[in-house]
Amino acid sequence: MLHQSALLDLNEPMHNSSPVPLVDSDRFRLLVASITDYAIFMLTPDGTVDSWNAGAQRFKGYREEEILGRHFSTFYTEEDRAAGIPARSLRMAEEEGRFEAEGWRMRKDGTCFWANVIIDPIKDENGRLLGFAKITRDITERKMTQEALQKSEQQFRLLVQGVTDYAIYMLDTNGMITSWNAGAQHIKGYTVSEIIGNHFSRFYTVEDQALGIPQRTLKIASAEGRYEQEGWRVRKDGSRFLANVVVDAIRDELGQLIGFAKVTRDITEKRAAAEQLEKANTALHQAQKMEALGQLTGGVAHDFNNLLAILSGGVDMLSLQLRGQQETRMLDSMRRAIERGAGLTQHLLSFARQQPLKPEQCNVNTVLSNFETVLQRAGNAGIQLELALAPGKHVARIDPGQFQTSLLNLVVNACDAMPHGGHIVIKTAARQLQAHEIGSLAAGSYIVISIRDNGSGMKEEVRQRALEPFFTTKDVHKGTGLGLSQVYGFMTQSGGDLTIESKPGQGTLISLYLPVVEEDAAIANDVEETKDEYTEHVLLVEDEIDLLTLGAELFRAIGYEVHTASSAEEAVAQLALHDNIDILFSDVMMPNGLNGIELANLVRERYPHIKIVLASGYAMPALQNNLQDLDGFTCINKPYQLSDLARVLRRAI
């Protein structure tokens, strides 16, 4: 505080007082007058402004001639004047020897600033009040900074307290809990009153406590500044959860450790979903490998089955001719070898695209809902996936595992088309189709599962080839070209189909069509066998000449009249010549011209009275899933034995 005598000498003699000569008065006057960072001025005992320095003019905007002689309450707000604060300030300064306060003050132009004010009473040697020395400092900027800091701290506290997905709390240097947010209560189960003051090691398992992991955690965080780990933690109710934990050391300005900030996240569901996604990806990759290998093995296995059929037929013919015990044992050994070979071909065919499925009646909406978590995590954080499931039960006969793999395949493809994020919508709907409205699907009720994205889309030439095996537009090592082909194979096996709608820049819509089945519908069993003996005419169609010849002998051996054809076209000609054909027995896979399925459909349309038997080296479930309508068809696997042939022919009649 400036000396009283120095302040008194700044002005002309004060009212009711005589000038007091002071040494160096000019020097003090110049010092105070030149200060610009502080408003320093004198007041008379009644509060009238009696002196004015450059700082006062800068802060308050008044020139000396404008303010001298006016009451200092001019600088106060109207509310403060009404409350009597100016007079109370002088009274407290006189009574207590000093007054200091902060508050809003008014400038000449009407604007306000936040001021720090000190008022000192000036008295003579007899204790008589001569006036007041008033020093004012503009601390608006500091006030704004403090308020901003307080607001920021308050917002931070509210933010931390409002977070419910993360446990955020503080520890002292010994690991005792000093704060607790809502997320911590949500995850761990303790209220604030229950946990404050307890050691954080209570969240660790008994095994981890015995190993000293809580103490080691704080030691590492203190030494390295930060420590992160994953492990099992224990809730208040004793249940365990998998946690991701981050511990940060908190230090003061001098670098002294004052505690720790601890953030815990429950990742139990995330880890489970990641594991489920990994399993699904593994299944997807396995399905793609099956697709590639199946392209090679399918044809080889079919040809091998034809060879086995010839051997099997030959053994049957020999067994009719040979009666000796030694020969019979030899034929039995040959038959067992043929059966092992047939089993081998079925294993090979399991790698092919038309491998046997494990179909069951499934509510498609339920399968989608149960698989949603995996689908949500198939893309990055910028991709939003939405399920829009039509109400009601939509039951189809599918292999649920293969169906989920196909869905994941389509969602992964959609995510690849949206590298910068996007939106995927999976919808279900019921639709009544006319015959061949979609591909070769028969008329009836279908469930439509649509997968729409807003990604890059496809050019028309790409869309037309999208279902081809090994076709891909992805970079090398980023795609096999088997994904959509695998989905298409699954759909056709399941009696359905798929369509693709896409344009560049407008995204892609893939629609899957599955036939509706009646829930709990019974599956027909074997047809009753009729009479044991027949004299019927059979048209045998087989492109393998050796198998055709041997097959004809087998039919004749069990009492049938046989007509033969080595192609579907030749069979059509035979049917035109002979009107007494009762049974068409045809191989399914005939590479030249019509195949067995197409021939069977043609015969059923033109000659509805003829019974149809189809033979194939493919597994029957796969074969049946490729046929659109099995009514009137009977199937048999190659290689077949004489007894199998007789039973199937009776069943067909």
Q: Per the omega criterion (within 30 degrees of 0), is the bond before 400 cis?
A: no
Residue 463: the pLDDT is: 85
Residue 48: the pLDDT is: 94
Residue 172: the pLDDT is: 93
Helix%, strand%, coil% for the chain, nearest 5: 45, 25, 35
Give 445's pLDDT tier (boundaries 50, 70, 90): very high
* Residue 72 · residue 99 · CB < 8 Å: no
Residue 590: the pLDDT is: 80
- Sign of the dihedral defined by the CA atoms of residues 119, 121, 122, 125, in that order: negative
Give 431's pLDDT tier (boundaries 50, 70, 90): very high
Residue 428: the pLDDT is: 94
Q: Which pTM does this prediction carry? A: 0.34
Model confidence over 30-39: pLDDT tens digits?
A: 666 667 678 8
Residue 528: the pLDDT is: 35
Model confidence over 47-59: pLDDT tens digits?
A: 999 989 888 888 8
Give 337's pLDDT tier (boundaries 50, 70, 90): confident
Ramachandran class of 399: left when φ > 0, alpha when ψ lies in -120 to 50, beta otherwise: beta
Indicate whether 306 pLDDT > 50: yes
Indicate whether 591 pLDDT > 70: yes
Looking at the chain, the whole-number percentage of residues with pLDDT higher than 70 is: 75
Residue 132: the pLDDT is: 93
Query: For residues 205-241, b (16+ Cβ closer than 10 Å) or e, as one string?
Result: eeebeeeeebeebbebbeeeeebeeeeebbeeeeeeb
The beta-strand segments (E) located in 528-643 are 537-541, 561-565, 583-587, 611-616, 633-637
Average pLDDT, whole number, for the chain?
79
Indicate whether 273 pLDDT > 70: yes
Give 342's pLDDT tier (boundaries 50, 70, 90): low
Q: How far apart are CA 639 and CA 338, in angstroms?
A: 8
Model confidence over 201-231: pLDDT tens digits?
A: 999 999 999 999 999 999 999 999 999 999 9
Q: Are strands 583-587 and 537-541 parallel, antiparallel or unpaired?
A: parallel
Q: Calculate mean pLDDT across residues 521-545.
A: 58
> Three-class SS string for 352-408?
CCCCCCCCEEEEHHHHHHHHHHHHHCCCCCCEEEEEECCCCCCEEEECHHHHHHHHH
Q: Calculate mean pLDDT across residues 549-556.
A: 81
Residue 159: the pLDDT is: 62
Q: How far apart are CA 266 and CA 184, in angstroms?
A: 10
First to last CA, the chain: 124
Residue tagged 């505690």 (tokens): 259
Here the tokens at position 103 are 């508050």
User: For the chain, how big is the Rg over CA atoms in Å?
Assistant: 47
- Which among 248-252, 298-302, 550-554 has the top mean pLDDT? 248-252
DSSP H stretches of helix in 119-232: 140-162, 182-188, 192-195, 206-210, 213-224
Give which of 442, 446, 452 is closest to 501, Cα–Cα.
452
Give 618's pLDDT tier (boundaries 50, 70, 90): low
Residue tagged 């004299």 (tokens): 535
Residue 284: the pLDDT is: 66
Residue 27: the pLDDT is: 59
10 versus 616: the higher-pLDDT residue is 616
Residue 464: the pLDDT is: 80
Q: How far apart are CA 538 and CA 532, in angstroms?
A: 16
Looking at the chain, the whole-number percentage of residues with pLDDT higher than 90 is: 28
Instruction: Please tell me the least confidently modeled range out of 88-92, 448-452, 589-593.
Output: 589-593
The torsion angle over the Cα atoms of residues 287, 289, 291 and 296, rounded to 10 degrees, is -150
Indicate whether 17 pLDDT > 50: no
* Residue 72 · residue 115 · CB < 8 Å: no
- DSSP code of residue 225: S
Give 85's pLDDT tier (boundaries 50, 70, 90): very high
**Residue 333: exposure state from Cβ atoms within 10 A (0-12, 13-18, ≥19):** exposed
Residue tagged 């809502």 (tokens): 182
Indicate whether 550 pLDDT > 70: yes
Q: Calculate mean pLDDT across residues 388-399.
A: 88
> Three-class SS string for 466-514?
CCCCCCCCCCCCCCCCCHHHHHHHHHHHCCCEEEEEECCCCCEEEEEEE
* Long-range contacts of the stretch 104-113 (C-beta < 8 A, 24+): 104/77, 104/80, 105/60, 105/75, 105/76, 105/77, 105/136, 106/74, 106/75, 106/76, 106/77, 107/59, 107/60, 107/61, 108/60, 108/61, 108/62, 108/66, 109/61, 112/77, 113/59, 113/138, 113/140
Residue 222: the pLDDT is: 92
* Residue 136 · residue 107 · CB < 8 Å: no
- Which among 312-326, 364-378, 629-643 has the top mean pLDDT? 364-378
Q: Are strands 166-171 and 444-453 parallel, antiparallel or unpaired?
A: unpaired
* Residue 490 · residue 358 · CB < 8 Å: no
Give 519's pLDDT tier (boundaries 50, 70, 90): low
546 versus 325: the higher-pLDDT residue is 546
490 versus 223: the higher-pLDDT residue is 223
Cα atoms in the Cβ-side hemisphere of radius 13 Å centred on 183: 18
Q: How far apart are CA 575 and CA 590, in angstroms?
A: 18
Give 302's pLDDT tier (boundaries 50, 70, 90): low
Residue 497 CA, chain-centre distance (Å), reads 27
Model confidence over 174-183: pLDDT tens digits?
A: 999 998 888 8
Model confidence over 131-164: pLDDT tens digits?
A: 998 999 888 888 887 777 777 666 666 666 666 7
- DSSP code of residue 177: B
